[in-house]
Amino acid sequence: MVVSYKVKKLGDNDYKFCKKRSMVSVLKKKITIIDYGMGNIESLKNAICKIGCDPNFYSENNLIKSNIIIIPGVGAFNRASELLSKKKINEKIIQFSNDKNNIVIGICLGMQLLFEMGMENGQHQGLGLIKGNTDILSKDDGVRLPNVGWLKTEIAQTENFKFLSKFNQEKFYYIHSFKTNPQNETERIGHAYFNNKKFCSIASNNHNVIGTQFHPEKSGEIGLEFLETIIKHFQN
């Protein structure tokens, strides 16, 4: 099956602007966006600003300046893995995650990179922060990929993630052709359905690493609230 992506650079006009929000609890919280050459980092920056936080960027030439990093990403796992390794950013992220006071958030391809192995265009090493791998979303004949659109997302009723229960059955925006397969079922925090089959939509190591297959920054008001909720929870 051939998977193709059409990626355009999105601007403010591509987003639903949120209503005026009260963000006193996260105001000016510094958040570092990992800039490794894949993903629309400006869109994520805009979303972070909208929830009252202070975004900055990390590449191979500067320092991580906060205790929360977000790994964005659009495209192929193999290329992303290659860039992270070439720029030695993978080593920095792993080192950063070893401090349990630090938080790692992965979005879309960024979530997939949190896992040990990606199976897109061969077998490629991920960050290994969550046990498991990634593979094609569907191998069924006639199924068109990528999966694009708004999907209802179900949140697992787990003790560690009760704070996300208010998002159960909410719709978020997805665009992807691959899915993650957490080795440990307790690390599967949310799921959605594509072609009548369940796939993992939120995963976590149950400590300080969490990833979403959907794009909170492209999911309007509910997506911004989701980001805010995660940041507020982990900064407490």
Q: Which of 154, 170, 187, 217 is catalytic?
A: 217
Average pLDDT over residues 134-147: 92
- Asked, for residue 132, whether it belongs to a domain, the answer is yes
- Beta strands, E only, the chain: 30-34, 54-58, 68-71, 103-107, 115-118, 124-125, 130-136, 147-155, 170-176, 178-182, 188-194, 197-204, 209-212
Type and span of the H or E element at 83: helix 77-86
Domain count, the chain: 1
- Asked, for residue 3, whether it belongs to a domain, the answer is no
Dump pLDDT digits (tens) for 181-232. 999 999 999 999 999 999 999 999 999 999 999 999 999 999 999 999 999 8
Q: Report the CATH number at residue 101.
A: 3.40.50.880
Average pLDDT over residues 15-35: 60
- Asked, for residue 8, whether it belongs to a domain, the answer is no
Range of the domain at 105: 26-235
215 tagged catalytic: yes
Q: In this model, does residue 24 exceed pLDDT 80?
A: no
**CA 16 to CA 27: how far, in whole Å?**
21
97's CB contacts (< 8 A; 6+ apart) are: 104, 127, 129, 208, 209
The whole model's pTM is what?
0.87
Q: Residues of 47-70 as b/e, b for ≥16 C-beta within 10 angstroms?
A: bbebbbbebbebeeeeebebbbbb
Q: In this model, does residue 137 exceed pLDDT 90?
A: yes
pLDDT at 59: 81
- Asked, for residue 199, whether it belongs to a domain, the answer is yes
pLDDT at 75: 86
Average pLDDT over residues 74-95: 93
Residue-averaged pLDDT of the chain: 87
- Asked, for residue 169, whether it belongs to a domain, the answer is yes
Q: In this model, does residue 18 exceed pLDDT 70?
A: no
pLDDT at 159: 84
- Asked, for residue 13, whether it belongs to a domain, the answer is no
Q: For residue 39, what is the DSSP state?
A: S
Q: In this model, does residue 79 exceed pLDDT 90?
A: yes
Q: Which of 53, 215, 225, 228 is catalytic?
A: 215
108 tagged catalytic: yes
Q: Which of 108, 120, 187, 200 is catalytic?
A: 108
- Asked, for residue 7, whether it belongs to a domain, the answer is no
Percent of the chain at pLDDT exceeding 70: 87
Average pLDDT over residues 125-142: 94
223 closest CA partner among 115, 105, 96, 144: 105
**CA 197 to CA 75: how far, in whole Å?**
23
Q: In this model, does residue 67 exceed pLDDT 80?
A: yes
**CA 174 to CA 147: how far, in whole Å?**
7
- Asked, for residue 17, whether it belongs to a domain, the answer is no
